[in-house]
């Protein structure tokens, strides 16, 4: 894994700075948000490796942020909250948080919990190596061979279309932002890439549909695209 990217969601500037500095020193990249709206925006546009989330946010309760993010992402969420009641912890964990740290917290403990979470992420990646074959209903992608089939028939894709399909498949079920996709496909996220993305997405869809498509690529207007899982249909 490259330098992990951590999203810090905290409305209290001193605590936000404390965490930012600690992450800087220990070689993590980080983004920050001071409210729920910022948290959801940053999480959806940057797909961070881990989300550190305060619950007492000015615009929306952190538990609601967990629920919203869980509707489209499995990113690990570690809650850092002053709420120390068992009930609060249970509510956050049931909503989909992976871990819970009570304020005041020790930075060393936070770093240790980040390491545990990253270890788990790395294990999960090793168990699902990218060289494997991806299957979603009638769609099959053989990453090692670099080809895709629909109902057993090879799809004739251009290199960009193939790359695009792989990015959607690797994140199957999740909404991916235009920025995220263009960065994965072209390595940059210029405005003209977003325009190209629309064109390539249209041709890719046509090829998927012409072979009796049960794999849908949904458009999320103003956000991006999502490949549905066969079971969602």
Q: Which residues bind Ca ion (CB under 5 A)?
A: 11, 54, 56
Give all strands of the β-sheet with 153-154 in edge-to-edge order.
133-136, 139-142, 147-150, 153-154
User: Among all residues, whose Cβ is closest to Ca ion?
Assistant: 56
As measured in angstroms, the least distance from the Cβ of 131 to Ca ion is 43
How does strand 50-53 pair with strand 5-9?
Answer: parallel
Question: Contact at 8 Å (CB) between 36 and 64?
Answer: yes
As measured in angstroms, the least distance from the Cβ of 27 to Ca ion is 26
Rank residues 59 and 109 by Cβ distance to Ca ion and give the closer one. 59
Question: Contact at 8 Å (CB) between 1 and 45?
Answer: no
As measured in angstroms, the least distance from the Cβ of 155 to Ca ion is 49
Rank residues 68 and 226 by Cβ distance to Ca ion and give the closer one. 68
As measured in angstroms, the least distance from the Cβ of 63 to Ca ion is 13
| Rounded-to-integer distance, Cα 171 and Cα 42, Å | 17
Rank residues 14 and 187 by Cβ distance to Ca ion and give the closer one. 14
How does strand 217-220 pair with strand 224-227?
Answer: antiparallel
Rank residues 13 and 212 by Cβ distance to Ca ion and give the closer one. 13
As measured in angstroms, the least distance from the Cβ of 15 to Ca ion is 8
Rank residues 11 and 91 by Cβ distance to Ca ion and give the closer one. 11
Q: Quick one: which of 93, 85, 106, 104 has its CA closest to 22?
A: 106
Rank residues 15 and 107 by Cβ distance to Ca ion and give the closer one. 15
Query: Residue 224: beta bridge partners?
Result: 177, 220
As measured in angstroms, the least distance from the Cβ of 40 to Ca ion is 16
Question: Contact at 8 Å (CB) between 76 and 50?
Answer: yes
Question: Contact at 8 Å (CB) between 75 and 105?
Answer: no
């Amino acid at each position: 894994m490259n330098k992990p990217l951590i999203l810090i969601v905290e409305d209290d500037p001193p605590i936000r700075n404390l965490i930012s500095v600690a992450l800087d020193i220990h070689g993590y990249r980080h983004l920050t948000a001071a409210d729920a709206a910022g948290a959801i925006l940053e999480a959806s546009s940057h797909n961070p490796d881990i989300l550190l989330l305060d619950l007492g946010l000015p615009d929306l309760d952190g538990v609601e942020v967990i629920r919203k993010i869980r509707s489209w992402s499995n990113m690990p969420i570690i809650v850092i909250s002053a709420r120390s009641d068992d009930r609060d912890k249970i509510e956050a964990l049931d909503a989909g948080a992976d871990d819970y740290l009570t304020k005041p917290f020790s930075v060393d403990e936070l770093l240790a919990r980040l390491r545990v979470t990253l270890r788990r992420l790395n294990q999960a990646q090793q168990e699902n190596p990218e060289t494997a074959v991806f299957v979603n209903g009638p769609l099959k992608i053989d990453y090692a061979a670099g080809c895709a089939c629909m109902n057993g028939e090879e799809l004739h894709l251009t290199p960009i279309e193939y790359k695009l399909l792989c990015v959607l498949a690797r994140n199957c079920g999740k909404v991916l932002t235009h920025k995220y996709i263009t960065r994965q496909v072209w390595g940059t996220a210029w405005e003209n890439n977003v325009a190209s993305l629309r064109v390539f997405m249209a041709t890719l869809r046509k090829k998927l549909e012409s072979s009796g498509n049960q794999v849908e690529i949904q458009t999320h207007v103003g956000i991006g695209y999502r490949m549905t899982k066969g079971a969602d249909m």
